[in-house]
Structure 1
Amino acid sequence: MRRTGLAPAAWGAALILAGMGAAVIVSSQSGVPARAVGGLAVALGVAGIVWAGWCLSRGTVLAPRTALGGIMVSLGCVAALLATTGGRASIIAAAVVVALLLASAILTAGEMRHRAAPTGVRMAPLLIAATLVTLLATPALGAVQDAATVRSDGTIPVIDPHQGH
């Protein structure tokens, strides 16, 4: 069960972290420090997605100590995003990514403690874990967009795909 829940939790955290970083990078109101942290967030997000897929395909947690180090750096990156963006990073997304990173850390540490041989993935627990993470990650990703597009007066611009036609 630890291995089955790890991949969706890591994917959810990685997607949100990459989304937060991308939002900071493309924001016209971001300074150089915020964009640098945003670039790190995107890189960590991509690394997390690759690592989780690799673990799932192998049926075991690979490089758990390195993964725990990456999780700690990711937690610091979330804090840095909140600190450098001047209120333009989503608190909701940050809370969800921290929760998913902590879940990933707990599952990874548990696997380090009780190392077992690689096994196949059971579909039912994987689908349940993926559904739970999706229920958390989807609204968090929406909050990332809202936080990135908010105006200085607190309003969110309406984007008209038809440009008034």
Structure 2
Amino acid sequence: MNAATFVRSWPSVSAWGAGLILAALGAGAITGPNSGAASRGLGAGLVVLGVAALVWGGAVLALGRLVAPRATLVGVLAGLLTSTALVFVLPSHTSVIAVAAAALLLIVVGAAVAARVRRRGRAGEDPRAAQPISVLGLMVAASVIAVVVTPALGATQDAVLIGDDGTVPVVTHDH
């Protein structure tokens, strides 16, 4: 295994992590207690971007290559701008930690795709040539992403549920 096959699994897993966070931010913006028209609109956009990131990550993993690179770069930029806009539109119920985690993961995806686009432009290589994904790289990437995504999802829920007095209610699952 070389470094290229090890790194190739990171964009798909990063897209999954970013997709989960974007969808959670969007759902919180849509259903939050203080949601208005602007936050609901941004939330709907984030849910769509989150689902698109999940689908893109699956396609990359299944095909073994980065798909739709230019559209992906547009999606990364849209995800960064929309999640940042949500912080300004609904600041008291948007987790800055979740937005930062999503931004980090989106930047990983964007950097990988931009490097691929740039290499393809110079070398003229076949963009359809499938390359194997490293299982070790996939496992390490998934572990790192889990460490980033899990706290971000928890912070998203806390931000949506936070009360006016700054406390987060304890949600129990007993009947």
Answering whether residue 56 of structure 2 is matched by residue 16 of structure 1, we say no
| Gap runs ≥5 in structure 2 | 1-5
Task: Tell me, yes or no, if the aligned pair for 2:94 and 2:159 is still in contact at 8 Å.
Answer: yes
Q: Aligned letter for 1:143?
A: A
CA distance in 1, matches of 2:149, 2:170: 23
The TM-score, its normalising length taken from structure 2, stands at 0.89
Decide which of 40, 44, 54 is 2:45's aligned counterpart: 40
Q: Which residue of 2 aligns with 1:83?
A: 88
| Gap runs ≥5 in structure 1 | none
Q: Which residue of 1 aligns with 2:159?
A: 147
- Equivalent residue of 1:87, what SS? helix
- After superposition, the C-alpha distances for 1:121-165 in whole angstroms (9 at most, x for unaligned) are 2201111011111110000000000000000110111223336xx
RMSD: 1.3
The structural deviation recorded for 1:2 is 3.9
Answering whether residue 145 of structure 2 is matched by residue 137 of structure 1, we say no
Task: Tell me, yes or no, if the aligned pair for 1:2 and 1:107 is still in contact at 8 Å.
Answer: no
- Equivalent residue of 1:79, what SS? helix
The structural deviation recorded for 1:98 is 0.6
The structural deviation recorded for 1:55 is 1.2
CA distance in 2, matches of 1:160, 1:5: 36
Report the count of equivalent residues.
Answer: 163
The percent of aligned pairs where both chains have the same amino acid is 37
